Amino acid sequence: MLSRVLQNDLPVLIAGPTASGKSALGIEIAQKFRGCIINADALQVYSDWQILTARPMGDELDACPHFMYGHVGLAQDYSVGHWLREVSAQIDAVKSNGLRPIILGGTGLYFMALTMGLTNIPDIPAEIRAEANALGADKGLDVFARELRKLDPATHSKIDTLNPARTQRAWEVLRATGKGLAQWQDETPPPLLPLDQTVALNLVSNKDWLNARIDQRFDMMVDMGALDECRAVMNNGWDEALPSCQAIGAKELIAHINGDMELVTAIDLAKTQTRQYAKRQRTWFRSKMKDWQQVQRVNDEWAITG
């Protein structure tokens, strides 16, 4: 059973695709083992998004302490390097208060940086970021993957080329430093939390169950006010090129708000996008997290399955 591997004071890492039940598992562990939850989701850091990113709220926040959620502005630059520096300080802070860190989210790159280390890439100058944003707006967000294929094949072969935020970041690194992201990563320093010093859990689930859960959750998001959330973001600096504006469903719901799409079509497209994202997450986790313990909900209990 899962409780056996938790009978220590090691930090707990919980990864898994969207809607797989990470928050429920994290809260259960936190309540049983005097823990707190630290965010490892790249979109849940942004203050403007709560509903569409499924950020913890209400009873979830009351159940145990949560940190590093909703603290970054929409236009604020925030990278995996920013997250790693913050999470290092946060882990020290919660440990000093006698709490067990439970680092939870669906951003695999955050976990890789945490357990394998992160290269100290120089900050990207504002003019390079502006050049990248203009290029993406002019040529489409897939331009960065195409450019990397030509100019930096080593990085192109390793990166998630379907993730425009990742490909733009890699292009910016190459443009700003003259050295590809893959080359920078080859110079990675020691990790903050080596995997063998953690309890690393990867949530797995039946595809049909997860897809049904994704569809049901998006309907709930709409009922909870996702359209109003999108309207607020539109009035607060919406820019499709910003990493903060990649919340799945936002583009489709905003198209509906602008009168360019029927609501039912926007919802269907958003659900499709979410299911495709979950598929990419599952594929990535299977490839990169082979040494993590697989956990699944079995008969109303969490169990290690692999």
- Binding-site positions read 16-23
Residue set of the binding site for ATP: 16-23
Find, among 170, 27, 202, 192, the residue nearest to 106 by Cα. 202
Residue set of the binding site for substrate: 18-23
User: Quick one: which H or E segment has residue 296?
Assistant: strand 293-298
How would you class 63 by CB atoms within 10 Å of its CB: exposed for 0-12, middle for 13-18, buried for 19 or more? middle
Q: Evaluate whether 64 touches 31 at the Cβ level (below 8 Å).
A: yes
Q: Evaluate whether 105 touches 79 at the Cβ level (below 8 Å).
A: no
Q: Identify the residue whose tokens are 């192109």.
A: 156
Q: In what order do the strands lie in the sheet with 100-105?
A: 66-67, 35-39, 100-105, 12-15, 199-203, 293-298, 301-304
User: Which three-class secondary structure state does DSSP give residue 64?
Assistant: coil
What are the DSSP calls for 100-129, one per residue?
EEEEEES-HHHHHHHHH----PPPPPHHHH
User: Which three-class secondary structure state does DSSP give residue 202?
Assistant: strand
Query: How many residues appear in the chain?
Result: 306
Cα–Cα distance for residue pair 165/48, rounded to 1 Å: 18
Q: Evaluate whether 236 touches 228 at the Cβ level (below 8 Å).
A: no
Per-residue tokens: 73? 């502005």
Q: Identify the residue whose tokens are 């209400």.
A: 58
Per-residue tokens: 253? 């719901």
